[in-house]
Chain A
Amino acid sequence: MTEAMLAVEDLVVRFAVKREGLFGKPGQLHAVDGVSFEIGRGRTLGLVGESGSGKSTSALAIARLIPAVSGRVHLGGIDLLGLEGEVLRDQRRRMQFIFQDPYSSLNPRLRAGAIVREPLDRLGIGTPAERTGRVDELFTEVGLRPEQQRLFPHQFSGGQRQRLGIARALASKPDLIICDEPVSALDVAVQAQILNLLARLQRDLGLTCLFISHDLGVVQHMCDDVAVMYMGRIVEHASRRRLFTSPRHPYTQALLSAVPSADPSRQRRERIMLTGDPPSPIDPAPGCRFASRCPMVEARCRAATPGFRELEAGHWAACRRIGE
């Protein structure tokens, strides 16, 4: 693997919550429970998993936007979780977010040009004249016209607003871009425009991305490597080709088999129908989190957390039953 731009080790995030009944006895919601992965420079890692599996929480903790209980987050060799104050602010600009909802993530009172320029001003990047030039350049780069800088966010369509969000994220030339469901609020036809734009930027600018999506088709299209989360843990991590052609974890296998596809060759695939819903993430039982829905479960799966094993170079999974 190339040098890691981002290395996350044993990240843990919990939320204190009140439980149903039991006189509202407080509990711990295990949102992220020992997540580790690396992203090589210039590569894109897809983080997939069902709703509530901890994708956004992982990203927010990596960016220090919410506190982690424990773990290490190295960005280009610097441990972010140890930093405070000015130094943290400085390092944080090396990471930028592109959010799902282009409507609520842009300040409605600022003009489009000012929105994109704001990080440059705040971080004092370049001279004022250089910043103006950079904003023009960014508008062109994301497929907007420079004269649209005078408009307010509500005067743009959803897809154009997402372009603005992308321009703003690129402004400070970050080392890492975190895309959290960047196209799921957009109409299918507009999704393609944004995905093509992101793919072109990945290639031309050599971006390093953490790409969060529950849409496996989008992840297959956009990512070099894929990590699958289930209930706060990564259960499988492999290159895009390996993950989609030979998934090993029973959850990944069920997930892939459940994705509806317009590809006729996939219509004949065997569908693995999972029963039930994911269990509660509040004070979860020990052992494998997938045990309650797993078609291959055995008693020992419930006894202890399965370790993350490297099955083949670059292909990891957390399941005792693999290879038995």
Chain B
Amino acid sequence: MSAPVLRVRDLRVEFDTREGVVPVIDGLSFDLAPSQALGLVGESGCGKSMTALAIMGLVPSPPGRIAEGSIEYAGEDLVTAGDQRMRDIRGNEISMIFQEPMTSLNPVYTVGEQIAEVLRTHQGLSRAAAWAHAVELIDAVRIPLPDRRAGEYPHQLSGGMRQRIMIAIALACRPKLLIADEPTTALDVTVQAQIFDLLEGLRARTGTALILITHDMGVVAEVAERVVVMYAGRKAEEGPTSALLGHPSHPYTQGLIASVPHVVDEVPREREALTEIPGIVPALAEFGKDRCLFAPRCGSADEACLRARPPEAPWGEGQGVACWHPGPAGSGSR
């Protein structure tokens, strides 16, 4: 395997809250190879967006900060890089598509101007060249009539088109790493399929690596080659997509897969009850405690789980799991 484009090690992001100092990301490590697609999944509040913001150097500070760890991008540690260097990297090397497309586009400029602006600042293109390239990018994300659309304002476009404009902006500078935070949550499935198709094509053509943040295991199955499952700021499990979906070893991963009614081709006559993950995610005050934070919701939990935080250990074919009792539906023990 080639050298990773991104290497995250022991990342800890802390926030000052009323409950005290809380590690919303707690000892997170993962690698991303060039042109690889990594899925980042987990319930609301588990730290998916914060991981992305940390990579982008955009953790809101105060009240937050990167307290420990390193984020190596092409060998350079972004945690210790200066503000000017991070501004350079953002847009040129690493781009992000944010969760809400409407709030990230400026309503008073045409979408063509917004793409051209990025090209002028980051690539030093002239006004005319930037506009021409912006129209090409709008065409590349498969919006019909790109010439006309370039002159329109965000509110004149459909949600799907706005999201494609966001992708065009993110791609304007040919990033080596693209982070997409729930890029299709607000879109219809037929439009979602178009967007994934587009991202897939661009990845194949340009070698851009992709971090796709989602709560949808179906999306992960379709798009990602590797998956990191997060719970309460920590990595619960990681592995190649097919292995992880086929043989999830962490009870939380098992629950995430079994709790969702996936569309199946063989429609059974009887409908079985969905597997539930009882309870809810822990409160922020629980984050960082030296025990398994999933234990209160876990069918396999015992005292061991409450005594200490489980370290990550290898599992199966290239999987890694942080659990004291990993394995098919609560069998094993370590």
Contacts and interface: CB of A to CB of B under 8 A. Distances in A.
Interface of A: 20, 50-51, 157, 159, 187-193, 195-196, 199-200, 214, 216-218, 220-222, 240-241, 244-245, 254-267, 269, 271, 273-277
Interface centre among B221, B223, B261, B271 (most CB of A within 10 A): B261
Contacts of B32: none
19 contacts: A157-B280, A159-B280, A187-B43, A187-B280, A189-B255, A192-B276, A192-B277, A196-B276, A200-B273, A214-B188, A221-B261, A222-B271, A258-B193, A260-B189, A260-B216, A261-B222, A261-B264, A262-B260, A273-B193
Contacts, number: 142
A-B pairs, 8 with minimum CB distance: A221-B261, A260-B218, A192-B259, A189-B277, A258-B193, A50-B188, A192-B274, A217-B261
B123 interface: no
Residue among A193, A254, A260, A267 with most chain B CB within 10 A: A260
A266 B262 CA distance: 10
Contacts of B278: 193
Interface in B152-193: 156, 158-161, 188-193
A198 to B, nearest CB: 11
B295 interface: no
A189 B279 CA distance: 9
A220 B193 contact: no
B271 to A, nearest CB: 6
A274 B217 contact: no
B311 interface: no
A266 B263 contact: yes
A146 to B, nearest CB: 20
A256 B263 contact: yes
B275 A192 contact: yes
A188 B221 contact: no
A191 B260 contact: yes
B265 A244 contact: yes
A245 B267 contact: yes
A269 B265 CA distance: 10
Nearest to A271: B193
Contact of A264 (B223, B242, B281): B242
B37 to A, nearest CB: 13
A84 B197 CA distance: 52
B121 interface: no
B7 interface: no
Contacts of B260: 188, 191-192, 217, 262
A244 B274 contact: no
B218 A188 contact: no
A263 B263 contact: yes
Nearest to A196: B273
